[in-house]
Amino acid sequence: MLNSPEFYDLVITSPESPRTGEGSMRELAGGRIMFVYTDFRGGEDNARASIVKRVSDDAGATWSEPEVIIADEGRENVMSTSLIRLQSGGILLAYLRKDSRSECHICLRRSEDEGSTWSEPIVCNARVSYFVIVNDCFLQLSDGRLVLPFEVCEEVWVPNERIEAGCLYSDDDGHTWQMSNTIYAPKRGAMEARVVELADGRLWMLMRTDQGVIYESYSADRGETWPEPAPTAIESPQSPFVFTRIPSTGDILLVRNPVANMTQGTHQGYRTPLSACISDDDGLTWKHEELLEADTDHTYCYLSACFVDDIAVFSYYVGSPEQPLESLRIARVPVSWFYELTSGADVSE
């Protein structure tokens, strides 16, 4: 029985594997976990890459050897995976296919045999532009609608980027997709959005920004339209985060880098440490903020989360300000740990 968090590095960076991660995990039949992530052949976002699969039979304690499922697709690469277990039983895999600095597509493959085989890809975005999804962001609403938050810009890595966030949504199990309006947050934009469904039926979107805090927006029509975002009191550098519900309790879990510094590094602070907190009132308050990773000599980002047997299993990059991609780490955390914390810190303090 797991009584406290445990950590290990699944992949150590090497010349053969300079960067691995930005993955997604989902439970398979019989309690196994499927982990699908990107295996890069360079350290850059557009380095050639494959998408690989591993399976765990023991709640993330050990994993099978990697198996390539998507290789050398796109003129640049494939990356940033997101899995969803459909209410109808199948599994969808969303990922990015990068062709140039102005053309990146959101692609989708389907499996009806627990990830053993995958369909040919379809492209979800309705127009040619630079679309991005953060890893592990897929959501299916209680009524069955699929929601896939995205960001989009005309060209990436140029001065004065304007990055906008929105959602793709599907009412036919992911066969066809519609696109919401897009929204913008100053200066660089609204980035790497994630969404949860609230008890009153609204959708709540949180977005990475370069403003030292996370921004938010609420949709009253299941993700079809979004008002312009506003800043929250949740401090964070320009860094992705976990924002999801704990299945066994229904509470919202937020795992993020909690310290911003507008003069430090290129992301308004280094992506360290790594903290977790929960909300049992749909985000009105946050409780029990505590450090999951406390060593500030290292950085932590691009998390995925999966829950099985009352254990939260996370994957994420571990690095340092000088070498941001040192390893792909697995953390196994008892769900009870999020409720046993004693600090009770308010993230807005």
Question: How do residues 283-313 score in pLDDT, each as one tens digit?
Answer: 999 999 999 999 999 999 999 999 998 999 9
pLDDT in tens, the chain (349 residues): 899 999 999 999 999 889 999 999 999 999 999 999 999 999 999 999 999 999 999 999 999 999 999 998 999 999 999 999 999 999 999 999 999 999 999 999 999 999 999 999 999 998 999 999 999 999 999 999 999 999 999 999 898 899 999 999 999 999 999 999 999 999 999 999 999 999 999 999 999 999 999 999 999 999 999 999 999 999 999 999 999 999 999 999 999 999 999 999 899 999 999 999 999 999 999 999 999 999 999 999 999 999 998 999 999 999 998 888 999 999 999 999 999 865 445 565 4
For the domain spanning 6-340, the CATH number is 2.120.10.10
Write the pLDDT tens digit of every residue in 199-221.
Answer: 999 999 999 999 999 999 999 99
Asked whether the bond before 187 is cis by omega within 30 degrees of 0, the reply is yes
SS3 per-residue string spanning the chain:
CCCCCEEEEEEECCCCCCEEEEEEEEECHHHCEEEEEEEECCCCCCCCEEEEEEEECCCCCCCCCCEEEEECCCCCEEEEEEEEECCCCCEEEEEEEEEECCEEEEEEEEECCCCCCCCCCEECCCCCCEEECCCCCCEECCCCCEEEEEEEECCCCCCCCCEEEEEEEECCCCCCCEECCCEECCCCECEEEEEEECCCCCEEEEEECCCCEEEEEEECCCCCCCCCCEEEEEECCCCCCEEEECCCCCCEEEEECCCCCCCCCCCCCCCCCEEEEEECCCCCCCEEEEEEECCCCCEEEEEEEEEECCEEEEEEEEECCCCCCCEEEEEEEECCHHHHCCCCECCCC
Distance between CA atoms of 293 and 313, rounded to whole angstroms?
14
User: Cα Rg for the chain, rounded, in angstroms?
Assistant: 18
Select from 184, 147, 178, 148 the least CA-distant residue to 164.
184
Signed CA dihedral, 150, 152, 155, 161: sign only: negative
In angstroms, the Cα distances linking 177 to 71, 99, 107, 224, 236 are 25, 21, 11, 11, 32
pTM of this structure:
0.96
User: Domain locations in the chain?
Assistant: 6-340
Burial class for 29, CB neighbours closer than 10 Å (0-12, 13-18, 19+) = exposed
Is the separation of the CB atoms in 98 and 76 below 8 Å? Answer: yes
Is the separation of the CB atoms in 168 and 151 below 8 Å? Answer: no
> In the prediction, which pLDDT does 349 show?
46
